[in-house]
Amino acid sequence: MSTPVSNGIIRRTRTVDISNWGEEPPRWIALLADEVRATNRKMAGERIGVSRTAVSLALANRYPSPSTESIEKKVLLALDGLQCPAQQLTISVEQCRDYRARPAPTHNPMAMRMWRHCQSCPHNPDRQQGDDQ
């Protein structure tokens, strides 16, 4: 374990082996591994809503279910969030994508302001840039 010092706080970094996932592990595994390095398996499991054992099995690519879809969804929902400037909330990447892709809510002025903000948001890969660029 290494002990990097940041702002006067010593933080232990846990060793997490995800080599069973191959050269390029899926994004959700990388997010889960980062969370375990920052906390531990038990705390990571509590944050995403699964057991410590499920976290360990997923990281080792030994999850007993034929599909990892359930745990993958939980990891992405809990750990792959972003700060939405329009809503002033942390939302999932899926929520962000769904919100910006919906049609303009012309019936509701507040929703329309938020939707317009979303169209030019830095999190929107298809954002419409202003004329000042």
- pLDDT (tens digit, 9 = 90+) per residue, 50-85? 999 999 999 999 998 888 999 998 998 888 878 888
pTM of the model: 0.59
Which has more pLDDT, 93 or 128?
93
Residue 132 confidence class, pLDDT cut points 50, 70, 90? very low
Which has more pLDDT, 63 or 3?
63
Which has more pLDDT, 91 or 106?
106
C-beta of residue 85 within 8 angstroms of C-beta of residue 121: yes
Residue 7 clears pLDDT 70, i.e. is over it: no
